[in-house]
A and B are shown apart, each in its own frame.
Chain A
Amino acid sequence: MSTQDLEKNIADLESSALSAIAKADSLENLEQVRLNLLGQKGELTGILRGLSALDKSERPRIGQLANVVKVKIEEAHEARKEALFQSHIDSKLKAEALDVTAPGRIRALGHVHPLSQIREEILSVFYSMGFEVADGPEIESDYYNFDALNTPASHPARDEQDTFYTNLGANVLLRSQTSTVQIRVMEKNPPPLRIVAPGRVYRNEEVNARKYPLFHQVEGLLIDKAVTFGQLKGTLTAFIQALFKKPLKTRFRPDFFPFTEPSAELDSQCPFCNGKGCKTCGGRGWLELLGCGMVDPNVLKGAGIDPEEWSGFAFGMGLERLAMLKYGVNDIRHFYTNDLRFLEQF
């Protein structure tokens, strides 16, 4: 083949190859075009192989010419391949389109009981103030439930009709208050003390929307040197504000409990209306939340703590009452019926 023919072939090949590459409409076609040109038996490969038959003087020039064409074809091929790949991906992605508003595939979570939730919230707040969690038996003696709490045998609270007595002995009952734990803790541990004690208590009361023969309390006790009534006010106000996550005002109303003196009922500014008055607080703007007071010297003495050296305060609150207020539950029996339609709301 003459040099001129060869040059023409190369030029023809360039234009036909570029047009074939441009026409390839799929990655498969493009690959076939590439093989036809650049494969082992490809046209350009054949031409390059034929160079050896040329005159030595012509070889570098034609060779360079062929190489330039080869690079051009390769570049065109790469560009075309890239474009085809992109459009392939695009159409594949399009085919994979989802209804993103359709629901997620879940395994339903369960729900923690509202009384557990409120108990945990209360304990966490007090834990952050340095109170330890303490525990005591529900089956108690009248000593811990009454005598040690400065409640003499003649006190109306000791009427048999209010307390459940057991077959374990004339003096063994189901505790009617978690205050029992105060005494057991004080007897076992030297002051200073800071404890909170959650637990179940029992009272012999007819079942209705507000009352159930068992319910739950959280009791607290702080004993230290120079504990004052002002510290009681400060601690419980901080607690209320942390529990409701609002800077609520509190009001301490004088009351009477046998085991604290002075005693108080703590009213919180209603967190639902910020004190303006609403259904929850009966329009009063205040909610009665817990009972508290300075530990009576008789109680300290009975537990072996010198009331001239130490002083302290105690408080107690009902979980059901707080949960009913917080969640707007109108019937205490919901807490023990365990209807999923109730539990799943929390």
Chain B
Amino acid sequence: MKVSLDWLNSDYVDLSDLSHEQVAEKLTMGAFEVEEVTVHGSDLEGPVVVGEILEIHQHPNADKIRLTRTRVKAGDEPLDIVCGAQNIEVGQIIPVALPGAKVVNRHDGSPLPIKASAIRGVKSNGMLCSAAELGIACDDKFGEGILVLADKDSPKKSGFTLGADARELLQIKPDHIMHVEPRSNRGDALCVAGLAREIAALFNRPLKQPTWNLEQYENKEAKVGTIYSVKLENEEDCPFFSLIPIKGVKVGPSIPEISKRLEAIGVRPVNNVVDITNYVMHELGQPLHAYDAAKLSGSSMGVRRARAGEKLTTLDEKVRELTPEVMLIVDDDTAIGVAGIMGGKDSEISDSTTDIYLEAACFSQAVVRRGSRLLGLSSDASLRFERRVDVASVFHAARRAAYLIAHYCGASGPAQVGKAMMAGSDKVSDVFLTLRLSAVKRLLDIEVTAERVRELLSPLGFKVEAGESGQLKIAVPSFRQADVTREIDLIEEICRLNGYDAIAATMPKGIVCRQAKDDTLVKAQGALVGMGLSEAWCSSLVPASENGINEDYLVQVLNPLSKDHQYLRQSLVPGLVHALAHNLDRGQKKVALFESGRVYFKDWEEPAPDNKSDNRQERSAKLFAKEINRLAAIICQADKQSSEKADFYTMKGVLENLLSGLAISLAADKVNWQAASVPGLHPFRCAALALNRPPKKGSDHSDKVGIFGNPMVLGYVGQIHPSYAHAMGIKEEAFVFEIDLDRIGAERKAAKFSEIANTPSMVRDLTIDFSKEVLEKQNDINHQNIVRLIMRSGSKNLVDVQLVSVYQSEGAAHTYRLTFQNPSETLTGEEVDNLVKEVKSQLTKQLNASFRA
């Protein structure tokens, strides 16, 4: 909302001793944030003075231009000034812009510098000014001709001093326009008078009211048009509706005072009648509408819901398709406007209008909001109805507008205001609240007296009465009955008006912390960053085409922003693949990224619960979907020359390192690796890491959600499938892993010390051969099975087995380094030899291994 400081100051609250910065600051600190202050009407510069026309002669070379001799200082020689306006006469007092001044170009509003120059061969030493040229009105039609300050024989004439500053005289000074957005619950402050009430309270100054008197123009007998009653379909949609007939108007431009104020706040003047409806809306916050009585033919005007398929052309000349959610104003049954939003084209005020109906009503906030959204149409009126207008103030605004129209728009003398027609009720019952001074003290920790409360709240229209000891009975004004309904609302008002700054900052007492911060994520970030990976944050809203989406358990956004943000992701990998493609495209050679975040599945255990349960424990325990914390990483090395390779084992190593860092045991008796199949990954370069035994809790098993459907799976590692990579424009091999952070978190073990053995350890290298035939016959020959068999058959004194090398030609030769140690006594060479012998025999027996001599 734009508010003119000048309007506030001259009509409602005296702010003349304050700068616009002071007013804006006070409002901002009083819950009405001033976003911006702009200056309006500061275009006038240089000498603009009061002058008197002494002589008028015809211009020798032009018909429509005349030559004046105008005196701009008593006793000085008059100046030759050329003038094109037709309304000048000898003896008039007029404003004169002298050379060096800058006025307003009346054609386009641009600055117009005044110079001594020749016009059609005759020298001119300045310019006689119209209202438009002085910036009082923007369009010449409001100030046709030169602005006459006093006529030849006017008694006022003697009050003017020639050469005086005309700006001062006309009070032409820049106005400051504040851009304020009252909060959504403060519809009452969405106007000059409402904001003035706040300003008066904040500065503790008296609130003024403009004076006017409608009775003088009222004529109960004045007959206008055919309408003699108003009726409502229901009073929920429209609690109160009023229609005032006005007879004998002449439509034309507004007086400068009104058009100037409207222009200052960015409202385009239309004509005197419409301008007054806009003026009063901005002044009092009540939207109004004027109908040309001659264009209506019914006997009654009313409010009803639209019928499906009904159509109406609105003032903006668009044909609107209506539905029963939209409220209409009707002439008998014919739609003539969308209630609370915009009037209809057919009944609008035109130059030939003579009699009008002035509508003022209160419409339902919700119905106007829904209609406005539905039609994609919002207006200054709908904005105000959505924020709530005060039903008790509707008729006051109607009378104010009727007064202004009668006063300023009469065809000959003032127009006549007929008997108002009304439906519904604008009566509002009193609302009393109880305020305990102890409650103010308890929440705000400030001491306030009943007197102080009265001082703070009365300027805002609250009536404060003493009640029981320490309690006050407070009557809420009608315009605040929507947002002030409880004691806490009064406490907020006291806090605000007394000033937030008046409350001293203290610290809460006591410490409450039941649980240490989970460090899984921070540890994981540290480990991965240490291994050269950077952290990515990808969107959790993804397109439907994303790889690996499982439709059965998809969470879908019903009103997505675009197709790219339609679904909730089920894996972190696609986001990282996108990020990889983005970085490769921009010339990066090595890309190593990770992300931790949630993935989302429709619940496969139970249907979404009804959240209206009244049992809080039950309600808060229920979730609507499975939200699972995952961590994933991607690496890709596009630089073949680099010494830092990136292959499947690099990625697996990163994962193993990460898990060790998180204190996850990778021992053979705890976990196992299995070749796995994951959509989007290379079918022969993918492994899943799983627990050997199911975890204690978590039975959320569903094969349909992919590899993590098995509750024992902690994660997987693999290569991006070449065809997936190709589709993403990735030419290099890329490797990923993804782990379930919730499951990992549950498996983390606190470190535990075990005694360090002091006996010497003995090392034996063992090369195991598998013939081509054996390898073809047996598909269980892999590193994991070999190591498990060695560990099982090497006794408890075999403490470590490491792979040294794998050599593949016809068959395969695996070399392992075995470390033996008995913590309590030194092993002999013979004992170790015997253990190795046993290992060899088991390898031969179970895996058909052979050994060289």
Contact = CB atoms under 8 A, between A and B. Distances in A.
A204 B515 contact: no
B754 interface: no
B506 A234 contact: yes
B28 interface: yes
B616 A110 contact: no
B555 interface: yes
A204 B444 CA distance: 37
Given A156-B184, A188-B617, A303-B616, A228 B445 contact: yes
Interface string A172-184: 1010000000011
Interface stretch (A60-68, A76-84, A334-342): A334-342
Contact of B561 (A194, A206, A238): A206
Nearest to B602: A168
B586 A264 contact: no
B492 A138 contact: no
Interface stretch (B7-15, B303-311, B538-546): B538-546
Nearest to B591: A340
B557 A200 contact: no
A137 B512 contact: no
A222 B513 CA distance: 11
A237 interface: yes
B114 to A, nearest CB: 35
B750 interface: no
B90 interface: no
Contact of B503 (A107, A139, A164, A229): A229
A213 B561 contact: yes
A132 interface: yes
Interface string B591-634: 11110011010100000100110001101110111010000000
Interface in A48-62: none
Nearest to A159: B373
Interface size class of B (residues with CB under 8 A): 35 or more
B586 A172 contact: no
Contacts of B591: 340
A139 B541 CA distance: 12
Contacts of A193: 512
B536 A113 contact: yes
B500 A264 contact: yes
Secondary structure of the A contact surface, majority rule: mixed
A154 B365 contact: yes
B775 interface: no
Nearest to B587: A341
Most A C-beta atoms less than 10 A away, residue of B183, B510, B537, B611: B537
Interface stretch (B276-284, B522-530, B684-692): B522-530
B184 A172 contact: no
B557 A166 contact: yes
Contacts of A344: 534
B532 A139 contact: no
Nearest to A183: B620
Given A226-B442, A297-B488, A213 B541 contact: yes
Interface stretch (B29-37, B66-74, B140-148, B256-264): B29-37
B535 A116 contact: yes
Interface in A244-289: 251-256, 261-265
A169 interface: yes
Contact of B539 (A143, A144, A294, A336): A336
Contacts of B555: 139, 166-168
B510 A231 contact: no
A304 B536 CA distance: 40
Contacts of B492: 261-263
Interface string B623-647: 1110100000000000000001000
Interface stretch (A6-14, A15-23, A30-38, A123-131): A123-131
Contact of A172 (B186, B518, B608, B627): B608
Interface string A196-209: 00001010111100
A230 B445 contact: yes
Contacts of A213: 539, 541, 561, 565
Nearest to A206: B561
A120 B560 contact: no
A339 B537 CA distance: 11
B400 interface: no
Contact of B627 (A123, A133, A137, A235): A137
A324 to B, nearest CB: 14
A169 B87 CA distance: 73
B292 interface: no
Given A144-B611, A171-B611, A336-B539, A256 B185 contact: yes
A5 interface: no
B31 A165 contact: no
User: Which 4 pairs from chain A and chain B are nearest by CB?
Assistant: A254-B31, A141-B611, A256-B183, A187-B620
10 contacts: A110-B535, A110-B594, A113-B534, A115-B537, A138-B540, A139-B624, A165-B559, A194-B511, A337-B579, A343-B536
Given A214-B541, A224-B509, 12 more contacts: A109-B530, A112-B525, A113-B534, A167-B554, A168-B625, A184-B620, A229-B445, A235-B507, A254-B31, A256-B184, A340-B583, A343-B536
